[in-house]
A and B are shown apart, each in its own frame.
Chain A
Amino acid sequence: GESVGLHLPTLSVQEGDNSIINCAYSNSASDYFIWYKQESGKGPQFIIDIRSNMDKRQGQRVTVLLNKTVKHLSLQIAATQPGDSAVYFCAEMTGGSYIPTFGRGTSLIVHP
């Protein structure tokens, strides 16, 4: 998603569809990436991570793809469910730092 004004980018999908949430990062030295899910009123919850020596990593219903050439990260959610509705953040880290830097987030809305 792309940032527009002060509002979070939003992705609306129907239950059962696959969702793809995108994230562009700026630091070519970043070598570790994490996706978090944040539900309203709660803290960010770890979903999946990937290191820069990989292009793809799969979890349960989620896949993260990393394209280092264009500095792009995506999170794919298969068979999206209403419980997946949340804000999704990507975070990047460089090897010399242990401090994740977060993107603005994308709001995923799943319609039953």
Chain B
Amino acid sequence: NAGVMQNPRHLVRRRGQEARLRCSPMKGHSHVYWYRQLPEEGLKFMVYLQKENIIDESGMPKERFSAEFPKEGPSILRIQQVVRGDSAAYFCASSPPASAGNTIYFGEGSWLTVV
């Protein structure tokens, strides 16, 4: 299955630690999205990237959160000094180059629990 791959699926961190979530897009996809989902809520956009470039980070908290999509390797969402409010499911999605269409496909998510 060459779908969007996310790891780890579940991550537990103590307050103040760092969390790193990884995402490998579908084969042939060059654009990656990160969304956050709180329990019983919809998906909130965080950031939209292509290789080596952040296209839109309007949904990213101003502090502690960062994202990258290097030339080689997966996209990484990094949360520094985690707090309990960061506990959520983080979903990555990918899409082909924008000119090829708009549908985005999601991974199975990474569930972060901050204790």
Footprint of B on A, CB under 8 Å? 6-8, 32, 34, 36, 42-46, 49, 89, 93, 97-105
Which chain A positions have C-beta within 8 A of B48?
98-99
Residues of B within 8 A of A (CB): 4, 6, 31, 33, 35, 40-45, 48, 56, 91, 95, 98, 102-109
In the bound assembly, the distance between CA atoms of A96 and B44 in angstroms comes to 19
Q: A43-B106, A102-B44 are in contact. List 18 more A-B contacts (CB 8 A).
A: A32-B102, A42-B109, A43-B6, A43-B91, A43-B107, A43-B109, A49-B102, A49-B103, A98-B48, A98-B98, A99-B33, A99-B48, A99-B56, A102-B42, A102-B43, A102-B45, A103-B42, A105-B42
For B43, give the chain A residue with the smallest CB separation.
A102
Closest partner residue, chain A, to B92 (CB atom):
A43
19 cross-chain CB contacts under 8 A: A32-B102, A34-B102, A34-B103, A34-B104, A43-B4, A43-B91, A43-B106, A45-B106, A46-B105, A98-B98, A99-B33, A99-B48, A100-B102, A101-B45, A102-B35, A102-B42, A102-B45, A104-B41, A104-B42
| Nearest-Cβ distance from residue B13 to partner chain A, whole angstroms | 19
**The residue from A7, A32, A99 contacting B45, defined by CB atoms under 8 A apart:** A99
- Decide yes or no: A93 and B109 within 8 Å by CB, A98-B48, A99-B56 being known contacts: no
Residue of A nearest to B44 (CB): A102
For residue B4, which residues in chain A have a CB less than 8 angstroms away from its CB?
43
Chain A residues whose C-beta falls within 8 Å of the C-beta of B108 in the assembled complex: 42-43
Q: Which residues of B contact A103 (CB under 8 A)?
A: 42
Hey, which chain A residues are within 8 Å of B103, CB to CB?
34, 46, 49
Q: Out of A6, A98, A102, which one reaches B102, CB within 8 Å?
A: A98
Q: Measured between alpha carbons, how far is A105 from B98 in the docked complex, in Å?
A: 26
